[in-house]
Amino acid sequence: MKMVKNILLGLTAAALVIGFASCKQADDPKDAIDGSGNKYSIDHENTETENYRAYKSTSLKHSGALVKVKFDKKDVGLSKMGVIFDLHENKANKDAKEFYIIGIGTSTDTNFYVSKFTNVTDIQAKNFGTELKENKAVEDELVKLSAANSIAVPAAATDGSVSYFVYFKGFKEGYYEWAVLSTTDEVAKTIKIDDAKYDTIKEITGVSVLAHGKISGAFEAVASDDKIPQNQMAVYAMVSPKTTLKGSWNYLGMYHEAEAIEE
C-alpha cells in the first residue's frame, strides 16, 4: 500500500523561528500578543506612563500577504497596530534585526506610517531604538508619521470595531507594493494574493484605497517569481499609556504559501 505524506515546503524557516523565539522576553515581556499561524490578537492594558511595544513573528517566511487588522473599538488614543514584513537578521550584526513596518491607528491624525528599520537591538526602546546612545537603530521614513500623512479612518462596524486591510507583496524586479484598504470581509475574500497587484486591487468594486506606495530597490532583482526573497512576517502593537488596546490580525492570504507535495 502506497503511503502518502504531506510535506510543507518551507520548513527550513523553523530554524529562523527558533532564533527569534529566544528573544521573546525582549519582544513582548508582558505577553500582550497571543496567537499563531494566520491569527493573532492583543488584549493589553498599559498602566504605565510610557508606550508599551511588542511584536510576534509568524511561523513561516513569505513574500507578501493580505492582512485584516481590527481594532475592537475606535477610542484607543494614539495606540497603533502594525504589520511587519521582510523581517530578518542584520547581515553585519546577528543580534540585530531589520524590517519594514506599516503602522496604523484610529486617532483623528498621526495615525499612519511606513518605515524601514535596520540595526534594531531593543524593540522596547523608543521608536525601536533610534534614540539609543549605543547600537542605534536606523529608520528610513517612507511615509512619515504626521498629521499631513494621516489616512481616513474606516467607519466603525455595528459592534464598534474598526478594520483595515493591509496588502504588501514583493515582485521579481526587486520592489514591494503596499496598500492600506477599507473594504468588507466578503470583498477581501475575492482578493487572491498570488495574482494580486495594486493596479488590479484598486479597481475592485467595494475597495477604498486609503494609502498606497512602492518600495523600489528593496532587494536584488531575480529571474523568476519563485526566487523572490522570503523572510518572516510579524504583527506589532504600540499601546499608549493608560490605555487598553484590544484587537486582532488575520492573514487572509500569504504569497509563496507553503505547498503540500506527495512522496
Residue 248 in domain: yes
- CATH number for the domain spanning 58: value is 2.60.120
* Residue 123 Rama label (left phi>0; alpha psi -120 to 50; beta): alpha
The 10s digit of each residue's pLDDT in 169-205 is 999 999 999 999 999 999 999 999 999 999 999 999 9
Is-contact 61 232, C-beta < 8 A?
Answer: yes
Residue 16 in domain: no
221 is in which domain, residue-wise? 39-256
Residue 206 in domain: yes
The 10s digit of each residue's pLDDT in 209-233 is 999 999 999 999 999 999 999 999 9
Cell of 118: 535596520
Residue 203 in domain: yes
Q: Identity (one letter) of the amino acid at 164?
A: Y
Residue 4 in domain: no
Residue 17 in domain: no
pTM > 0.85: yes or no: yes
Beta strands in 63-207 (DSSP E): 64-71, 80-89, 97-105, 112-120, 138-143, 162-171, 175-182
- Rounded CA separation 171/161 (Å): 33
Structurally, the chain folds into a number of domains equal to 1
Neighbours of 101 (CB within 10 A): 22
Residue 34 in domain: no
Residue 13 in domain: no
